[in-house]
Homo-oligomer: A and B are copies of this chain.
Amino acid sequence: MLRNINPILSPQLLYVLRAMGHGDEIVISDANFPGEGIGPDCIRADGSTASEVLEAILSVMPLDSFVPDPALTMQVVGDPDAVPEAVADFQRIINETADKPTEIQTLERFAFYERAAGTFAIVQTGERRFYGNIILKKGVIG
Residues of A whose CB lies within 8 Å of any CB of B are 1-5, 7-12, 14-24, 29, 31-37, 44-48, 52-53, 59-62, 66, 77, 99, 120, 125-126, 128, 130, 140-142
Contact = CB atoms under 8 A, between A and B. Distances in A.
Give the secondary structure class of A's interface: loop
A10 B60 contact: no
Contacts of A47: 8, 45-48, 52-53, 125-126
B46 A21 contact: no
B46 A7 contact: yes
Contacts of A2: 17-18, 60-61, 141
- Which of A14, A18, A46 counts the most B-chain CB atoms under 10 A from its CB? A46
B14 A14 contact: yes
A61 B52 CA distance: 23
Contact of A46 (B10, B60, B141): B10
